[in-house]
Structure 1
C-alpha cells in the first residue's frame, strides 16, 4: 500500500537517482584490519560528516514543506509497531559483537545494550534534535489539529546519531515505538562537537556539552541566574514570615577549620542531601561533606546545612524537633546539593579530588569527499517540489532507494500511536464523526450543548429507536449519575472508549488528518550545521545516560529519608558519577546538553513568571506521580508548591498528589523502623492545614477536618475512606484470582491500620484496575506477568495495579458544591482514636477539633470501632462472568492482603473467628456507578490484660476487602442504612480495637 504523504511513483528521474545514489551500505567484513586511524575497514568507509549534513537537510526541508516527511507511527505486516522515517546511515550488522579493536565500533558499543547477544544486529540513524527525548512529540487535539505551535521559528535545528537494534518488520529508516523516549535517555545520543557560531547564540537546538574532568561552576551559575531572573516565586526559597526554626545551626564554609555555628534561620544557606552508608559515625567530615563545603564556596555561598553535623545526634528532643521542621529547612535553602554518586565516603565527582566517569568521545579524520549542500533552500532533487507537490521523492532522501523502501514497507499501515496521535482513523467507532460540525443550532441551544455534539445525539437516538427529546432526557440523567454536566458527556464517553482502546487519559483522541506540519516558512533560508570543533576532524561526543535515569537508579533514590529532601527542595544541583544536573520548579538541565534556555521558557499566568514549556522533559523530584518508568514531560508552575498539588484549592488534586507521595515513599527503604513517620513529616506538614478546616493527616492517613460542601462533618467519612482504601502491592494467589497477597514486615511501634505500620510499597484504589481480568478479556490482552526492566522498574506491574481514582474523587466530590450532590449515600463506621494507656482519646466523628490534639508518634495509638458490622461469612461462589474471581452474596469481591494468605486460609480464618472483615466505609463517588463497600481484614492478636480494660479484644489489620454492588441496585437504596442492609453483614455485638 502507499502511505499517506508518499508519492505513488516507484522510481525517480535519472537526475534524482544520481543526486541521491549516495548511501553508506558496505558489505560487512568478517576480518578486521585496522587503518592508521584505528578504524576497521567498515568504519573507515563511513563519511559521517556527510551523513550528519544530509540528515540535517532532510529534516530542514521537511520543516519548510519541501518534502512530506512526517513523524508518524506505523504497523508492519508482522504486527511490529514503529516510527518512520529517519535518515539511514548504515547497517552495523553484528560487528559490535566482535572485538575488532576499532575505536568507532567501541564508541558505538557504549550506546547499545548487550552488543554480544547472539544474532543481534544494529544500525545507525541520524535524528532531528527537535525529536529528541528532551521534547515531547507534537500532539493533536480531538479535532486532529496540532497542539499550540512551539515558538521555534527562529531556532536552528541540529541532528544527532543513535544506534538502534535491527528488528524484524521495521524498515531501515524506522525505530521501535518509544525508542527515543526510553532507550536514548538510558544510553545517550551522539552529537558532533561544533564551534560556536556568533549569530546563532542561543538559537541552536540542541548542542552537545563537551565535559572536562571538573564540574563547570560557571555553567551552574548561569543556570541559577536564569532561575532567579525567570522563575520568581516558583523557585525562591520559601521562608514565610510566621515560620521559624529554633536553634538552627549550619557549617560556616568560610572558616578554617570548618565550624558548626548557630545562626538565624533567615540567613541564606545551602542544604545537602546524601546517603550516609553503612559506616560508623566516627568520621564527622567524610569526603561528601568536605566536597559539599567546596561546592558551596564555588557557588559563592557561606553556609551549608548537613543533618549529621547540624543536629545534635545525642539530643533526642532536638532530633525530634528538627525532624518536624524538615519541610522548612529544605524549602528554605537557596539550593540543595544532592549526591547521587554514592554515599558519605564517596565524595562528589568532579568537585575536588574525586574523578568523574569520563564522557565517551571519539575523534575521526573528516572525509575529503564533500557533498555540495548550499543551505539555501531545497537541493537539486527537490528544487521543483513545493509543499504539497505530488511528486514527492523524499524516500530517496532517507538514503534508501525508493524501490527498496517500498519493498521493506509492503503491507505496512499507519497505526495507533497512544503517545502522539490518538485513535486511528479506521477504528470501529467513528470518533471523528462524533466531533464533526453538525447542523442543529436550535437543539444545541435548547440543551446547552455544543453544536458539534448534536449529530452524535441524533444518530444515537435513531439507533435506540427513541424520539430525540426523550433520548436527551436519558442523557441528562446519565450525566447527573456520573457527576458531570450534559455538555461534558460526549467528551466523557469519547474518553471512555479511548480508555478501553488502551489510550491514557492524558492523550488526544485522533490520528492527524492534515499534512500541514510545516514549522517555518518555506522562504526562510536554511543554515548549515556549525563547523566541527577541530578543522579536518569530526569529534563525536556522547550525551551519556540522562541524569534523570541515573538519579532514579542511584542508591540515593532507594532511601526513605532522601525522598522528602528531593521533593521539598526548590532548587537541586545533583552530582552524578558523570555530570551535574540542575532541577528547579521551572526547568531541568544538565552539563552534557546545551539548550537555549530563554527560548524554551513560556509565561505562567496569572503569576507573571516564566518556566520551561510543557513540551520540555520535566524533572524527577516532584514525587513519583507517574505509574510508568518512562520520564515525563511538562512544567506547570504554581506558587509555593509547584505542580504537585499541595497548593491546589481542589482537595482531589491535593489528595492525588499525596497518594503519589505515599506510593513513592513506601517503595523506598528505611534503615530504622522508627523513622517510618519521621522521614515523611516534611511531606505531611505541607498538606496539613494550619486551621481546623482542610486536609490533614493522622499518622499518615489523609482526613478532611472541616465540613464537606454539603455541610456534613468530614472527619469520620474521610478517615474511614482513607483507612480502607490503601493496600500493599502484591501478586494474585493464582491466575485470574482477585485475592492478592504481599509479604510485608510489620513495624510494631506503629498502628497496623496505617501504612506507616508496615514496610512495603503501598498503592490505592486497586479495585478497578485498567488491566483487570475483565479488561484483559475484552481487549484480548495476554495475562500479565511481573518482569522488571533493566532499571529495576516493572511497568507491567504498574499497569496491572493501575487504579481508579475513587479516593481522589471522594475528596473532590465532598469538598465541591458542584460534586457533593452526586454522592447520594455514605456509610462509615464510628471510631475512636486513643493511646494504649488511655491518657488521650478522641472520637473521629462530628466536628471534633484535632488542631490541639497531641498525636504523638512516640505513643502507641489504637483504633476502636464502635458497634461494628462484620461479614457474616466468606464463602464465595463462582461468578457467571468469566472475568471475575468469585461472588459473595451476588456481589463481586476483591481482597488485597499485606501478608501471604491463601483462599483456604482466608475462609478458614473467618469460619473459626480468628479472622474477620469489618465494614468501614460504603458509598458512591463520581464516575463510579457501582457502590463500593470497603472492609478491613483483621486477625486476632489477643486481649489487653490491663486492669482498666481486661478482656478487651485486640485485632491487627492484614488487608482490605471490597464488595461491589452493581449500578442497578443504587435505585433500590433509599438511604445508607438500606445500602448496609443489603450487604452480607451482621452486628458484631461488641467493639473492635485495632493495634
Structure 2
C-alpha cells in the first residue's frame, strides 16, 4: 500500500481537540545546551596531559561523542511526542525495493565499520561491539540510536479490543519514560533514523539495550524502567522481593491444594537437614520444584540439584522436589502414575527453579561454584570542553539546523533520505502479530449504534473514549450527547465537526473568538497525548557517579536466552515450565522471574506500579509477560497480557492448545515412547468431559455444540485432518508442502504423537516455518488455510453455530489391535476413559469416501497453483514425495485419499473439504497409515448452489471405497 510522499515537519500544535498545549522545552531552548556531540580527539587540546591508560583509550570518533547531550536531546524528542507538543508519527515506510522500516528515532552516531575491525583498542567501541549478537564480519557497518522506553518491545505491544481498535493504556501518563540506546546494523535502504520493521521485537531482545547507569530508584522516582548493575553472584534479596510481591498481589498464582492432601509416591528433599535427605511428605506441604536437563550425569546428587537445594534454603523454603531423586526410577507403576500427575506436582509447587544454563552437572550460575557471564559495562569521563559544532562553522554562521536537535541528523539529510520513501501498510503495528480475534457481537452492536444515532465510525470511537473517561456506558453517553446536540440545534453527526471547528477557531483567532459550526473542521481527530501537556516535566535521573557516564548493557533478553538453551529443546521440560505458576530461571547471564502476573529480570528495575498489580488482578495490559503460557505468537517470547482466572473464548483456548502442541513437538525426546507421557500434564488442562478435551493428543469437543447436538464426531474428524507438520514448499508458489519427520511406531500415524517433528494446526505456521531465507514476512491472511480455531468457536457458540449450515464428517471407531476394546466416536462417547496411551490403537473409517483420482491440473489463475477437479487444492505431506510420485501412488493403489470432514467455513461462507492421504502399510493386513492431508476449497459461489449438506457432498470428487479403512 502506498501513500503520497509526506513532508516531514516537527510542528508544535497549540491544541488537540480544543485543549491548549503548553510549549515543551527542547534542548536549544534551555540556556547553555547548544546541541553537539563532537569533542576534541584524544591528543587534541582540552585533554588531560599525560599518556592515556591503555584500558581508558577512546578512538578519535568515540572521543567526539557527547552521549549525555545525545540522551538529553532524545529525551526531549520523545517527551515532546508523548505530550503532543512535537508531531512525530511512528509510521512504517519503504524505499524502492528495500525492507519496510519504522521511523523516527533519535540518531546518536554513525559507527561505520569500526565495531567489526579486528584490532580496535577503543574501550567504547569494545563495549558497543559486545552489545550486538550479529556476526561482526569485516566491513559490517552499524549506527547508534536512542529509543524511548515506552516504545520498546517490553511495553509497546499494542492491545486491540474485539472491534480491532487499539486499547488505550490506563494510568500510563503517571509514569515517566526513560531513554536507552542500542547498536543497529546499517542498511543503505533504511534511513539513519529508522530501524527494520520488526527489529524492536527481534533484534533488540537478542542484543540487549544500553542504559546510562543512574542513581538507585528513590521513593518518588516514577520512571518506567531503570537499569541495574549486576554482581557476580545472583541477587537473593531481589529474588525474595519478587517472590513476596507475587505472594502478596497475585492470588491467582497461589498453589491450590486442600489441607492434608496426599499423592501416592510423593517424596521431597529436606533441604534443612545437615545432609539433604529424601523423605515422604503430604502433597499439601509447601515445596519447591526443579526443572533441568538430566544430561549424561550418573551422580545421585549432581551440582545443579545441590545448587537448587541452596536456592531453596536461601529463599526461606524447606522442601524441594526433584524427579530423579523423588521418583523411584525402578518402579514402573509408580513412574506411570506420577507422570500422569505432573500437572499437580508442578502446579502445586510454591515456585519452580529452572536451570536454563547447562545440565545436571553444570550447576546454577551465580549460586555457588558456577560463574555467570559478566555484564558489559564502560565508564567514560565527561569532557569539560566542547569543540565547535561542524554545522555551525564560524560564529558568523547561523545556528545548527533545528532538525539536528530533534532526530540527530541535519534536516537536509533527513529530507533527502525520505524523498523516495512511501508509506507502507502496517497490519501488525511495530511488527507484532496480535493474534486478534474480532468479537462479531461487539462489531454488530457498534453498527447498530452508528445506525441508530447516524454517526460515522470515527465519531463513535471518539465518543467511546470520552464515555470511558467520564465513566459512562457508550449508550448512556450517546443519549447525553444527543440531547446536547438537540439543544444546540445541530444533528448529533455534526457534533464532532462543530467542536473541531470551535477548536480551530480558538487557535486562529484567540480563545475569546466566537467560533461556530461554519468554521472548517480539522482534517482528522487527533490522537490523545500519552502524557498530559500540563504535567511538569521531570528530566532524566542523574548519573550514578558525578562527572562520569557509566553505560551498562541490559544483556540479552532472558526470554531469548531461555528459548535458545538446551533446556528449551527437551520434551519433558516443556510441561514443567508451562505447568508451573511461578518460575525462577537461572541463565548464564542473569536470573529471570515469571509468574502469571509479572515477568522480571535482574538487569531492569521496573516501576512498582507495573510490577505490583492489584490483588487478584493480572499485570497491566501493556506489560509483556512471558514465554510459558500459550506459545501463540510467531515470536513466542513476545507474549503478553496473561489473564489468569479469566474465562477464555473457545477460539483462544484452541489457539493456545495448538501453540502448546506446536512448541512441544518441536522439542526432543530421548525415549520416543514418552511422546504422550511428557505431554500428559498439559493435556490434563483440557480434560473436560463436557468441553474441550484431548484424545491421544487430538483436540475434540466432548460436549454439546451450541445447537444442542453432540460435538465429538465432527471435531475429531476436523482435528485429525487439521494438523500438519512444518514443511517446505516443493517449489516457489506451490501449495504442496513436504516434511520428513521420523515415525514413532508405538503411536498411531493419525495423531501428531506418532511422529517426531513440529506439528501445528495453523496453515501459515506450517508453511512459513520451513521457508528458506529471511525476507519480509507476509500477512497471515494471504496464504492461510481456513481458520481451525474458528470452527470450534462457531460450533460451540449458540449465536454462531447456525452460520455453519452444512457439515459432514466420516464415522470412525477407535479400537485396540485385539478387538477387546472399541469406541464409536459419535454421540457423547466418554473421552477421558478412552485411548490409554500405553496401548496400541487402530482407527477404522466406516463406509469411506475417497478421491476419484489425483490428477492435479494447472489453474487458469496466475496466482493459483493447482486445481483438483475444478477445486483449489492444498497438500501437506509428512513424508518426502514429489508431485509425480503422489499421482502415481494413487494410480497404483498404494496411496488413497479419504474424505473425513466437509463444512461451511465460519464467518467466511466458503466451504472446505478435508482429506487424509494414506499409504498402504507392509504388514499384509490391508492397513493404512496417515502420511499427510489434502484440503479442497469450495468457493462461495459453489456453496451458494448447494441447498443442503447432501448436495455439497454429491458435488465433491469422491467415490465409495467399498470397504472399511483401518489406520495404524
Query: Shared fold by TM > 0.5?
Result: yes
Specify whether residues 398 and 679 from structure 1 end up closer, same or farther in structure 2 by C-alpha distance, changes over 3 A only: same
**Alpha-carbon deviation of 1:583?**
0.5
- Looking at structure 1, the residues matched to 756 and 822 of structure 2 have their Cα atoms a distance apart, in angstroms, of 27
> Are 2:76 and 1:96 equivalent residues in the alignment?
no
DSSP 3-state at the match of 1:979: helix
Specify whether residues 694 and 413 from structure 1 end up closer, same or farther in structure 2 by C-alpha distance, changes over 3 A only: closer
In structure 2, the residue matched to 1:617 is 624
- Looking at structure 1, the residues matched to 377 and 745 of structure 2 have their Cα atoms a distance apart, in angstroms, of 54
**Alpha-carbon deviation of 1:415?**
4.2
> Are 2:201 and 1:221 equivalent residues in the alignment?
no
Q: TM-score, normalised by structure 1?
A: 0.80
Deviations 1:592-642 (A, max 9, x none): 000013246665xxxx6233212112200013211x236425313232xx7
In structure 1, the residue matched to 2:71 is 52
Matched-pair contact (CA < 8 Å) for 1:832–1:865: yes
In structure 1, the residue matched to 2:517 is none
Specify whether residues 60 and 883 from structure 1 end up closer, same or farther in structure 2 by C-alpha distance, changes over 3 A only: closer
**Alpha-carbon deviation of 1:735?**
2.7
Structure 1 residue runs without a partner (length 5+): 372-391, 424-434, 457-511, 773-782, 945-951
Q: CA RMSD in A?
A: 3.7
In structure 2, the residue matched to 1:675 is 674
Match of 2:913 among 906, 919, 933: 933
DSSP 3-state at the match of 1:182: helix
- Looking at structure 1, the residues matched to 772 and 893 of structure 2 have their Cα atoms a distance apart, in angstroms, of 38
In structure 2, the residue matched to 1:632 is 638
Q: Please show how residues 438-837 of structure 1 align to structure 2 within 5 Å.
A: 444-445=451-452, 451-452=455-456, 513=524, 518-599=529-610, 609-626=616-633, 628-629=634-635, 631-639=637-645, 648=648, 650-689=649-688, 692-766=689-763, 769=764, 786-787=771-772, 803-804=784-785, 806-837=787-818
In structure 2, the residue matched to 1:491 is none
DSSP 3-state at the match of 2:713: helix
Deviations 1:547-576 (A, max 9, x none): 011011111111111111111110101100
Matched-pair contact (CA < 8 Å) for 1:245–1:328: no
In structure 2, the residue matched to 1:464 is none
Q: Please show how residues 218-297 of structure 1 align to structure 2 within 5 Å.
A: 218-233=237-252, 235-239=253-257, 245-277=263-295, 279-280=296-297, 282-297=298-313
Specify whether residues 143 and 896 from structure 1 end up closer, same or farther in structure 2 by C-alpha distance, changes over 3 A only: closer
In structure 2, the residue matched to 1:908 is 888
Total equivalences in the alignment: 858
- Looking at structure 2, the residues matched to 596 and 662 of structure 1 have their Cα atoms a distance apart, in angstroms, of 35
- Looking at structure 2, the residues matched to 402 and 346 of structure 1 have their Cα atoms a distance apart, in angstroms, of 54
- Looking at structure 2, the residues matched to 17 and 193 of structure 1 have their Cα atoms a distance apart, in angstroms, of 24
Match of 2:957 among 984, 989, 994: 984
DSSP 3-state at the match of 1:817: coil
Matched-pair contact (CA < 8 Å) for 2:618–2:644: no
Deviations 1:230-277 (A, max 9, x none): 2212x1113368975222111111112111111000001111111111
Specify whether residues 316 and 106 from structure 1 end up closer, same or farther in structure 2 by C-alpha distance, changes over 3 A only: same
**Alpha-carbon deviation of 1:884?**
2.6
- Looking at structure 2, the residues matched to 801 and 555 of structure 1 have their Cα atoms a distance apart, in angstroms, of 35
In structure 2, the residue matched to 1:884 is 864
> Are 2:316 and 1:300 equivalent residues in the alignment?
yes
**Alpha-carbon deviation of 1:408?**
3.9
Specify whether residues 352 and 127 from structure 1 end up closer, same or farther in structure 2 by C-alpha distance, changes over 3 A only: same
Deviations 1:20-64 (A, max 9, x none): 763225799999x98333222322333323333333334334444
Deviations 1:101-131 (A, max 9, x none): 1111100101225574344222222222222
In structure 2, the residue matched to 1:923 is 903
- Looking at structure 2, the residues matched to 711 and 557 of structure 1 have their Cα atoms a distance apart, in angstroms, of 42
Matched-pair contact (CA < 8 Å) for 2:35–2:69: no
DSSP 3-state at the match of 1:961: strand
DSSP 3-state at the match of 1:893: strand
DSSP 3-state at the match of 2:724: strand
DSSP 3-state at the match of 2:562: helix
- Looking at structure 1, the residues matched to 150 and 325 of structure 2 have their Cα atoms a distance apart, in angstroms, of 46
- Looking at structure 2, the residues matched to 442 and 764 of structure 1 have their Cα atoms a distance apart, in angstroms, of 37
- Looking at structure 2, the residues matched to 441 and 673 of structure 1 have their Cα atoms a distance apart, in angstroms, of 55
Deviations 1:723-759 (A, max 9, x none): 1111112122233332221101111111111111111
Specify whether residues 770 and 671 from structure 1 end up closer, same or farther in structure 2 by C-alpha distance, changes over 3 A only: closer
Matched-pair contact (CA < 8 Å) for 2:632–2:659: yes
DSSP 3-state at the match of 1:219: helix
- Looking at structure 2, the residues matched to 797 and 174 of structure 1 have their Cα atoms a distance apart, in angstroms, of 21
- Looking at structure 1, the residues matched to 370 and 229 of structure 2 have their Cα atoms a distance apart, in angstroms, of 19
In structure 1, the residue matched to 2:407 is 398
Which deviates more, 130-139 or 284-293?
Answer: 130-139
- Looking at structure 1, the residues matched to 756 and 192 of structure 2 have their Cα atoms a distance apart, in angstroms, of 48
Structure 2 residue runs without a partner (length 5+): 14-25, 45-49, 388-400, 433-442, 461-522
- Looking at structure 2, the residues matched to 67 and 973 of structure 1 have their Cα atoms a distance apart, in angstroms, of 58
**Alpha-carbon deviation of 1:411?**
4.2
- Looking at structure 1, the residues matched to 821 and 855 of structure 2 have their Cα atoms a distance apart, in angstroms, of 39
- Looking at structure 2, the residues matched to 968 and 562 of structure 1 have their Cα atoms a distance apart, in angstroms, of 49
- Looking at structure 1, the residues matched to 267 and 363 of structure 2 have their Cα atoms a distance apart, in angstroms, of 23
Matched-pair contact (CA < 8 Å) for 1:34–1:41: no
**Alpha-carbon deviation of 1:160?**
1.4
Specify whether residues 225 and 442 from structure 1 end up closer, same or farther in structure 2 by C-alpha distance, changes over 3 A only: closer
- Looking at structure 1, the residues matched to 186 and 458 of structure 2 have their Cα atoms a distance apart, in angstroms, of 49
